[in-house]
Amino acid sequence: MTQDLLTRPAGEPAPPARTGLLLRVLPPGLYAGRARMLVERSLLVNRRMWLVVFTGFFEPLFFLLALGQGLGALVGGVTGPGGESLTYAEFVAPGLLAASAMNGAVYDATFNIFFKLRYAKLYDAVLATPLGPMDVAIGEVTWALLRGGLYSAGFLAIMLGMGLVGSAWALLALPAALLVAFAFAAVGMAATTWLRSWQDFEYVQLVLLPMFLFSTTFYPLSVYPGPLRVAVEAFPLYHAIELMRGLTTGAVHWGVLGHAAYFVVLAVLGVAVAARRLGRLLLR
C-alpha cells in the first residue's frame, strides 16, 4: 500500500479495491475474477452444435412416457412423500427431473472437460492469460450448470403440460434443479482431474447408473430393507429426488432445507477440489 502511494503520480486516482470474497481470500494468480470468459467461449463453440446439446433432453422424457405413462397404467397409485396417494407418473416425474439435472451437468463436466484437459490442452492456453485455475473451475462448472438447467427447465415444462405438478412450491423446483446441477458439475469436474484415459469413464458410469436406478427414482424408499435403505440415503441423487419430489407435490418440510444444504456443501467442496487439482496438473 505504501509503495503504491509513493509510485503513483500525484492527482491520479487510486485503483478500485477488489472487494469480492474470492479475490480477498484466494492467493494472487489463482483467481482473476474472469470465469465468465470461459462461459462465453463455451456459448460460442456450442452455438454450432446446438443439436448435440439439445438431444440430452429426450432421455428423461422417453423414460417418463415409457414408465410413467406406459407402466404406470399397470402400477396404479404410489404413496408420496407426504403420505398422499400419487399416480405413478406423478411419482416418477420428479425423480427424472433430478436425474435430468444430474446427467446434463455430469456429462458436460466429465467427457468435455477431459477432452479439453488431456487432448485439446485448452487450459494450458487459458492459464497463459490472466485467468487462474479457480476461473477455469468456476467457468466450466457454470457452463455445465447452464446445460443441466436447460434440461431441467424443458423437462419441468413437460411436467406442467402433462399435469404432473400438484403444488405452487414447484416454482422453486427450477432453482433447486440448478443447485443440484451445480453440485454434480463441480464434483464431476473434480473427479475428471483424476481420470487418465477414456477407459476410466467406465467408473463414471459405474457410479451414475446405480444411482439412477436405486435412488428412489422409480420406487419408494420403503421397498428396501434397513441396511440397503441407509446406503440409498447416502446417494447424492436420492437427496436431489427428495428435494424435487417434495417441491412438486407440495410435501414441503424442514427436511427440504437439509437436502438443499447438502448440495451447497457438495458444490463448494467440488469447486475447491477441482481448482486445487487443476492447479497441480497445469502449474507444475
Q: What is the DSSP letter of 67?
A: I
User: Can you tell me the mean pLDDT for 79-91?
Assistant: 81
Within-domain flag for 3 = no
Nearest to 91 by CA among 261, 268, 242: 242
CA–CA dist 151, 174 (Å, integer) = 10
How long, in residues, is the chain? Answer: 284
- Residue 20: inside a domain, yes or no? no
> Which of residues 223 and 47 earns the better pLDDT score?
223
Q: Identify the CA nearest to 248 among candidates 150, 160, 158.
A: 160
pLDDT above 50 (res 101) = yes
Residue 233 CA to residue 214 CA, distance in Å, equals: 10
Q: How confident is the model at residue 29 (pLDDT cuts 50, 70, 90)?
A: low
The SS3 call for residue 34 is: coil
Cell numbers linked to 121:
490442452
Better-predicted residue by pLDDT, 265 or 57: 265
Q: What type of residue sits at position 166? A: G
What residues make up the domain containing 44?
33-282
How confident is the model at residue 245, as a pLDDT? Answer: 92
Q: Which helix (H) or strand (E) holds 201?
A: helix 201-214
Summarised one tens digit per residue, pLDDT across range 169-193 is 888 999 999 999 889 988 998 999 8
Confidence of residue 125 (pLDDT cuts 50, 70, 90): confident
| Among 228, 7, 187, residue whose Cα is nearest residue 102 | 187
Rounded Cα distance between 232 and 236, Å, is: 9
pTM: 0.81
Q: Specify if 84 maps to a domain.
A: yes
Residue 72, Cα to own-chain centre: how many angstroms?
29
Q: How many domains does the chain have?
A: 1
Per the domain annotation, does 2 fall within a domain?
Answer: no
Report pLDDT digits (tens) over 197-255: 888 888 988 999 999 989 988 888 888 888 889 999 999 999 999 999 999 988 888 88
Per residue in 148-166, pLDDT tens?
Answer: 788 888 888 888 888 888 7
User: What pLDDT band is residue 22 in, cutting at 50, 70 and 90?
Assistant: very low
Contact of 91 with 216, CB cutoff 8 Å: no
Mean of the per-residue pLDDT values of the chain: 80
Single-letter residue type at 112: N
Q: What percent of the chain has pLDDT over 70?
A: 84
Asked whether the beta carbons of 263 and 239 are under 8 A apart, the reply is: yes
Q: Work out the widest C-alpha separation in the chain, in whole angstroms.
A: 82
What percentage of the chain has pLDDT greater than the value 90? Answer: 16
Residue 57 confidence class, pLDDT cut points 50, 70, 90: low
Q: Predicted confidence band at 52 (pLDDT cuts at 50, 70, 90)? A: low
Instruction: Kindly state whether residue 6 falls inside one of the protein's structural domains.
Output: no
Which cell is 255 given?
427436511
